[in-house]
């Protein structure tokens, strides 16, 4: 229901999208919200009610609360935040809910909701409750506790900070992804096989003021992968983002390709993504939010000789992505794949150096004449590009992007 706005200029003063969408009436003075009426509609009309709030009531009620965040908050900001409470579940995504409750409650930004913070909000609502504009006789604390209990089905107060599990994150693309997500405030589960993993997790904690743990695992062992998910949930209580990044490569003509290498590549590049996605699925359904991002390859879209297992695994990963996108759609879970061309990493730098020695040519010639011959744009893909795109796919803004295979290949797959 669109709000009836009462004001000479008929313009709201700030980004008040939630007030506009969920309020019945808004009054502004000098482009400042001073009064707003919300409607909470229920299937049982006896449980529905209207509540009108004014700036004067809000400021008066502040004298009886202890929450620093609410004391410092302006009425129009409070109105925009509390609007979420009156929204229908289907209309509000989990990130908006989490952002709302963080702003209303968590004054210490420590990921927990103190009782006094919850009571402060009820005190404010109680002030509005006593006004004649509140229709239908009901017990405020009981009713609003029920509202917040419903909302708590979708978010976890104690695990406010989002958690990202990134496989193969002790080096290369995965390591840079871990740093990028940590910089955005995610808790990080570092995974890999390098002994430096523990040090990497500690460094992320210190540099970005987040929490991080290192959980090594044999990517070919389903039991170990399931244990990684179990330990992640024990530690953080939620998994918001799963990035299936771990992968291996082997190059040989098919008549010389060892069956053992085929199995290893399929297990690590494909089966591990299936096992981990399955392991996080129930938790993401419970949260009604999840982002699974598969680090595929341009070889998910095109083929190159001598890479039988790698190309097969990456093509199959796109199939897995599409199936999970369909299954996750009703549950707030999106699943996408990124398909990069050659990415400049320390491992690629080492390959450039070795090939220059082997072919007795300069490293510049290795880059231009060997590695980037299929890149129409004669550049490497950067890990910064992959990180920014992955962060976007993990965001609430990407809720309608799912089942895609996104090329980041300098137009390689366009030829």
Report the alpha-carbon distance of residue 103 to residue 39 in Å, rounded: 22
C-beta separation of 337 from 321 below 8 A: yes
**d(C-alpha 100, C-alpha 78), whole Å:** 10
Residues 6+ apart with CB under 8 A from 129: 51, 140
> Phi and psi of 5, rounded to 5°?
-100, 125
SS3 content of the chain, % helix, strand, coil (to 5): 50, 15, 35
DSSP 157-191: STT-S-EEEETTTTSHHHHHHHHHHHHTT-EEEE-
* Pairing state between β 290-295 and 333-340: parallel
Q: Would you say the C-alpha torsion 315, 316, 321, 322 has a positive or negative sign?
A: positive
Residue tagged active-site, from 22, 95, 186, 310: 310
Q: Is 310 labeled as catalytic in the residue annotation?
A: yes
Cβ atoms within 10 Å of 143's Cβ, excluding its own: 16
Q: How far is the C-alpha of 343 from the C-alpha of 160, rounded, in Å?
A: 33
Q: Scan for tokens 């978010």, then name that residue.
A: 155
Q: State the catalytic residues.
A: 310
């Amino acid at each position: 229901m669109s709000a009836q706005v009462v004001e000479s200029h008929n313009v709201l003063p700030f980004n008040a999208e939630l007030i506009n969408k969920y309020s019945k009436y808004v009054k502004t003075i000098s482009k400042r919200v001073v009064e707003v009426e919300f409607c909470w509609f229920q299937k049982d009309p006896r449980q529905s009610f209207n509540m009108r709030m004014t700036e004067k009531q809000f400021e008066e009620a502040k004298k009886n609360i202890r929450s620093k965040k609410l004391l410092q908050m302006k009425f129009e900001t409070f109105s925009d935040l509390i609007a979420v409470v009156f929204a229908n579940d289907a209309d509000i995504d989990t990130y908006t809910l989490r952002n709302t409750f963080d702003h209303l409650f968590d004054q210490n930004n420590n990921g927990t909701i103190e009782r006094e913070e919850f009571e402060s909000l009820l005190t404010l609502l109680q002030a509005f409750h006593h006004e004649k504009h509140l229709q239908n006789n009901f017990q405020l604390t009981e009713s609003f506790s029920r509202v917040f209990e419903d909302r708590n089905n979708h978010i976890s107060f104690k695990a406010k900070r989002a958690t990202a599990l990134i496989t193969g994150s002790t080096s290369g693309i995965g390591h840079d992804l871990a740093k990028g997500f940590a910089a955005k405030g995610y808790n990080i589960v570092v995974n890999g096989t390098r002994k430096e993993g523990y040090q990497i997790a500690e460094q992320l904690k210190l540099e970005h003021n987040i929490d991080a743990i290192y959980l090594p695992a044999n990517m070919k062992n389903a039991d170990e992968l399931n244990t990684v998910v179990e330990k992640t949930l024990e530690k953080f209580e939620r998994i918001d983002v799963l990035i299936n990044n771990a992968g291996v490569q082997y190059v040989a003509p098919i008549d010389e390709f060892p069956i053992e290498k085929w199995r290893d590549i399929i297990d690590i590049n494909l089966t591990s993504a299936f096992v981990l996605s399955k392991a996080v699925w129930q938790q993401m359904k419970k949260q009604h939010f999840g982002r699974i991002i598969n680090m595929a390859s341009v070889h998910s879209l095109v083929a190159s000789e001598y890479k039988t297992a790698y190309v097969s695994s990456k093509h199959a990963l796109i199939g897995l992505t599409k199936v999970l996108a369909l299954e996750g759609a009703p549950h707030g879970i999106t699943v996408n794949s990124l398909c990069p061309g050659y990415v400049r990493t320390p491992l690629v730098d080492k390959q450039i150096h070795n090939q220059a020695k082997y072919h007795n040519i300069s490293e510049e010639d290795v880059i231009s004449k060997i590695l980037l011959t299929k890149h129409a744009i004669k550049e490497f893909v950067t890990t910064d590009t992959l990180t920014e795109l992955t962060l976007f796919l993990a965001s609430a803004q990407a809720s309608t992007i799912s089942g895609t295979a996104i090329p980041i290949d300098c137009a390689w797959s366009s030829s």
